Amino acid sequence: MDSLAFQLSGHSCVAARGLLNISREELASLAGISLSSLRRLEQGEKVSDYVIDRVLKALRAEGIHFIGSGTAPELVSKTLSA
């Protein structure tokens, strides 16, 4: 599971959504999770590994790359399309 590699912070999730220019509702739908779960994640509350894994996979599928090492990457980047 991707979430075991690191814990996705709420700030990184919000930043990634900003790069993609998508709403919470859109990301929740892409990830297949409830809007309330995504809201809790972005507000820094405890969520399950399943929620984190689904969000990570959805963001990566949209071209988001997490930069950094350790358990909490702080920067995100987006693959630019040619």
pLDDT tens by residue, 26-72: 999 999 999 999 999 999 999 999 999 999 999 989 988 877 655 55
Model pTM greater than 0.85? no
Q: Identify the pLDDT of residue 75.
A: 57
What would the DSSP string read from start to end of 16-48?
HHHHHT--HHHHHHHHT--HHHHHHHHTT----
Q: Identify the pLDDT of residue 7.
A: 73
Q: Please tell me the total count of domains within the chain.
A: 1
**What is the tens place of the pLDDT at every residue in 6-28?**
678 898 899 999 989 999 999 99
Q: Identify the pLDDT of residue 35.
A: 98
Which residues span the domain enclosing 62? 2-78
Asked if 13 and 55 count as a contact pair (C-beta separation under 8 A), the reply is yes
CATH of the domain at 19: 1.10.260.40
Q: Looking at the predicted structure, is the pLDDT value of residue 81 above 90?
A: no
